[in-house]
Amino acid sequence: MLLRHARSLLFLPASNARAIVKARTLPCDMVILDLEDAVADDAKEEARAGAIAALGEGFGGRIGAVRINVAGTRWHGAEMVAVKASAADYVVLPKVETARQVKDVFSVCQKPVIAMIESARGVLAAAEIAAGEGCAALFMGNNDLRKDLGIPAGAGREGLSHAMQAVVLAARAAGIAVFDGVFNRLEDEAGLEAECAQGHALGFDGKTLIHPSQVPVANQVFGPDMQAVADARRLIEAATGGAERYEGRMIETMHVEEARALIARAEAVGE
Ligand SMILES: CC(C)(COP(=O)(O)OP(=O)(O)OC[C@H]1O[C@@H](n2cnc3c(N)ncnc32)[C@H](O)[C@@H]1OP(=O)(O)O)[C@@H](O)C(=O)NCCC(=O)NCCSC(=O)C[C@H](O)C(=O)O
Ligand SMILES: [Mg+2]
């Protein structure tokens, strides 16, 4: 599956062997083995070895990635060397604030980099980061961003909306994929659904997740609506080129292109 078609991108601590096994049974589109904040300092080295072994075994057609620790930490260098030799499809770099940080990781790891935007500086540099060498996609890191902006933990996402839009704009201007941040409340399916719908409406391609129970919701919200796919097929058949009347509205070339993209996405996720 192409990264831009991914709906559900599941993080798990690379130190959690049971979660690694579980991930291979889940309908998620991407698995991200975390070596950063989800892993305690004294477990980082064992987690690194576990992540590399797990990526070698593969995730059965799911996209496989690993999130490394930032430059300046004592694990960063060894993680980059390990990732380079691994079967990871992508390397996820947290707390990115410059295009140079992405380029440096890309040049050592030789893997496309997904840059996490999780600070005010990162948001302000997002366009440059997205357009820079080696950058394959952007992830929102809303927990860290909220902290950096001084937004209280219990607040809604109003305070993040400008940043989320800036990050979507940056990704689209660079022609790369962009994914919404994680939803922390594990027992609030309605809240998750509302947040997925909000992210979808803002233009995100899919959502990063933290628990198996969140996967079906993200797949449903970010997956193609079958009625919309049927409508897209009819529109393509009816279109003759240029502006024309179609079922009481105007359509042009861009609507045909949009319809084709929707069908391609539906086919990519097997719907
Ligand atoms: C959040 C959790 C710590 C909850 O753990 P727990 O209560 O133990 O989970 P369950 O008992 O409900 O688990 C049931 C089974 O599911 C497996 N499991 C749990 N989580 C995952 C997962 N993420 N992927 C795959 N499998 C998972 C358990 O192993 C159980 O299976 P079994 O033992 O066979 O019954 C935990 O869910 C968790 O650790 N989640 C991921 C946390 C993480 O990776 N965090 C980093 C990413 S978040 C981020 O990026 C924030 C960002 O940086 C920002 O700033 O916003
Ligand atoms: Mg973070």
105 and 210 within one domain: yes
Tokens describing residue 9: 């991108």
With a threshold of 0.95, tell me whether the complex ipTM lies above it. yes
Q: Tell me how far apart the alpha carbons of residues 249 and 123 are, in angstroms, rounded to a whole number.
A: 37
Same domain, 115 and 155: yes
Taking only the tens place, the pLDDT of each residue in 162-218 is 999 999 999 999 999 999 999 999 999 999 999 999 999 999 999 999 999 999 999
Q: Does 191 share its domain with 161?
A: yes
Q: Could you give the CA distance from residue 248 to residue 150 in angstroms, rounded to a whole number?
A: 48
List, as ranges, residues with CB under 5 A of the ion ligand 2: 118, 141, 144
Q: For residues 78 and 111, state if they share a domain.
A: yes
Q: What is the pLDDT of residue 178?
A: 98
The number of domains in the chain is 2
CATH (domain of 77): 3.20.20.60
pLDDT at 87 over 90: yes
Residues 137 and 237 in one domain: no
Residues 131 and 249 in one domain: no
Hey, what's the torsion of the CAs at 76, 81, 86, 92, to 10 degrees? 30
For residue 1 the two structure tokens come to: 């599956």
For the Cβ of 36 lying below 6 angstroms from any atom of ligand 1, the answer is: no
Same domain, 204 and 181: yes
- How far, in Å, CA of 143 to CA of 154, rounded? 11
Same domain as 183, residue 88? yes
- Domain shared by 152 and 233, yes or no: no
Same domain, 234 and 168: no
Residues 106 and 133 grouped into a single domain: yes
Question: What average pLDDT score do residues 90-119 get?
Answer: 98
Q: Specify the residue with its C-alpha closest to ligand 1, atom 45.
A: 38
> Domain limits at 56?
3-222
Q: Is the dihedral of CA 259, 270, 53, 49 positive or negative?
A: positive
Whether 38 and 101 map to the same domain: the answer is yes
Residue 271 has pLDDT above 80, yes or no: no
* Residue 34 pLDDT > 90: yes
Residue from 8, 15, 22, 39 whose mutation best tests the ligand 1 pocket (most atoms within 8 A of CB)? 22
